[in-house]
Structure 1
Amino acid sequence: MPNDARLVLLDKNVVESLLLPDDVLAAVREAFVLHSKREGRVFPVVRETLAPGGVFGIKSGDVPAQALLGFKAAGFWPGNRGLGGEPHQATIVLIDPATGRPVCIVDGNAVTTMRTGAAGGLGLRQLARPDSSRVCVFGTGVQARVQLSFALRLMPALDNVRYVSATGQPVPAFEALFFNRCNIAPASDRNAAVADSDIVITATPGAGALFDLDAVQAGTHLNCVGADTQGKRELPAGLVQRARLFVDDRPQASQLGELQWAPETPCTELGDLLTSQAPFTRGRDDITVFDMTGLALQDLKVARMLFDRACQANLGFALSWPW
């Protein structure tokens, strides 16, 4: 009955206790497949700058056959660093599509981090050379860490990591996370590190090109995370046109991702590889790029998984929400 309605709240601690990498991989893979089959819809993205210098956005969508509807409100608040907090903030809301009533509110920070890492891992598995052993990572923050973690998890041959920090200096805390899984060290020259790598991962704020075009060698795969807003980029001009380009969603990537700088470039959605709707055979010398802007369906599938498990384990806080 309406007066018995409840709204479930899943805070950071509950989310992190339930968020397991293999489960997130499965949920994110399903999101790509649903998108490819057009069984899940992605609605137009809201992405706006804020007066204090932050960015606010909304990603939403639904899967009618699964009674799944919702949105993620998220963005970037740089002033949070001065408060000792995380600049990236996200909240996911699941909604009953039959009534429009909210069902569950989820702290979306860890969800966003891990689902993006899982998407990057799926991209590597589909697009990078299986024998890839050397990776160059741009960034040492939360997203760089999860991207590298999934890369090492899913690409068994990877054993040599070079990284480029924001200051160009070593970051011992970043190295400590991976020292027992690979040979990791800071790159002394970013272009040389790119040229010597099989895989390049860019996970920065997207303020501009991170390396020179001619540093990218034949056979390289690039996972690009940082371009998620109009005006952002991490790749040098000309690289997208030179590569075989893959995206999570073409309209979204052409507005927010690396594709915005060359919107007429042919590209393939990653989900179409997973469903075999698009044939792909990697040539040994192909340069491939996965331009990641993040699908609302990824957030919703992971949030639904967390909601179901929290209810089964009697976790979270259920609050009366009559109407």
Structure 2
Amino acid sequence: MSANQRSAELLLLDKHAVEAALLPDDVLAAVREAFVLHSQREGRVFPVVREKLATGGVFGIKAGDVGSQNLLGFKAAGFWPGNRQLGGDTHQATIVLIDPATGRPLCIVDGNAITTARTGAAGGIGLQQLARPDSTRVCVFGTGVQARIQLEFALLLMPTLQTVRYVSSSGQRHAAFEAAFQDRCDIQLATDRDDAVANSDVVITATPGGGPLFDAQAVRPGTHLTCVGADTTGKRELPAGVLERARIVVDDSEQARRIGECQWAPDLPCIEIGDLLTGKATITREPADITVFDMTGLALQDLTVARFLDQRARADGTGTRLAWPW
């Protein structure tokens, strides 16, 4: 065994270390880089594993690499609804960075906060690219972690948004959700979901994807829709007929057609968001266009965010280091 093998160590970044280091500007930069790498085919996205479990949960693996940057890793994640009764998050995720030269693990990162933040950042980038610049009204489906982060980035990146109507799963007011945003916008519970959609410039769907959330005819010309919840075969949030009327943008076309909203209309044309960022593709948005950003989540997003957290922790000495000889 060489000296390097004996002295090898593994860096652990727990929830607290991750949350303290996840600054919005850094996350936005990392997610944008991931989309650009994907567009330039410098970063690879491996086939997604997504399987239902006998326990009632859903388990998945998203993996990828960037050869030119010696970046390799995966996220093991999924959805466990029974965690609500245990007082824990229903979504669980762990990210592992691996040395591509040796296959040795370098860093294990709590992935919950990363998944939340990078998905919110992706939604915000989509808004900047696709929503009408004069948008002022947003309708949000959901009041959970992902609904909150989507609205956080929406208000951060589109200051014109002033009016928020939200739809809760119970149909009742969610005081904590309102309190989180009441200083930045006019936020109220939507009493009629179709009416809320019809009177919004931006619609964000951030639910478990159990079925259509509103009637197709409620979507008016000029609306932008950010779709988060469809990430598994059989899931959907949009009603039939919306995609056929829309200009569709995705994070990954193959993945979206397999597990995203696009699985319900796989033959429709779509553009990858990275191609818009690199200029490989363009969209000239007419005021009456309906746009959809179908987000299924890229492994590259997780890896670029985890990488900057790993680099920062090694530079400032945070995190936990374990001897990991081989």
Q: Shorter-normalised TM-score: what interval?
A: over 0.9
Does 2:260 align with 1:257? yes
CA distance in 2, matches of 1:218, 1:99: 53
Alignment of 1:1-323 (within 5 A): 1-323=4-326
Residue type at the aligned position of 2:247:
R
Amino acid at match of 1:230: T
Distance, in Å, in 1 between the alignment partners of 2:159 and 2:20 is 26
Looking at structure 2, the residues matched to 194 and 77 of structure 1 have their Cα atoms a distance apart, in angstroms, of 29
CA drift at 1:68:
0.1
Rounded to whole Å, the distance in 1 between the matches of 2:84 and 2:163 is: 31
Separation in 1, partners of 2:306, 2:147: 22
Paired residue secondary structure (2:93): strand
What is the CA distance between 1:315 and its match in structure 2?
0.4
Q: Secondary structure at the match of 1:78?
A: coil
* TM-score in terms of structure 2 length: 0.99
Question: What is the letter of the counterpart of residue 93 of structure 1?
Answer: V
Find the residue that maps to 1:311 and give its secondary structure.
Answer: helix
Q: Which amino acid aligns with 1:31?
A: A
Number of residue pairs the alignment of both structures matches: 323
Q: Report the residue type matching 2:12 in the other structure.
A: L
The superposition leaves residues 246-297 of structure 1 with CA deviations (integer Å, 9 ceiling, x where unpaired) of 0000010011100000100100000000000002110010000000000000
* 3-state DSSP of counterpart to 1:58: strand
Matches of 1:22 and 1:147, distance apart in 2: 15
The residue type equivalent to 1:198 in the other structure is: D
Q: 1: distance between equivalents of 2:283 and 2:91? A: 35
Query: Aligned partners of 1:201, 1:78: CA distance in 2, in Å?
Result: 22
C-alpha deviations, 1:82-128, integer Å up to 9, x for none?
A: 11111100000000000000000000000000000000000000000
Residue type of the alignment partner of 1:114:
A
CA distance in 2, matches of 1:221, 1:77: 30
Residue type of the alignment partner of 1:125: Q
What CA distance in whole angstroms lies between the structure 1 residues aligned with 2:247 and 2:96? Answer: 35
Query: What stretches of structure 2 of length at least 5 have no aligned partner?
Result: none
2:243 maps to amino acid: V
Instruction: Give the C-alpha shift of residue 135 in structure 1.
Output: 0.2
Q: Structure 1-normalised TM-score?
A: 1.00
Q: Runs of 4 or more off by more than 3 Å in structure 1?
A: none
Report the RMSD for the aligned CA atoms in angstroms: 0.4
Deviations 1:204-229 (A, max 9, x none): 00000000010000000000000000
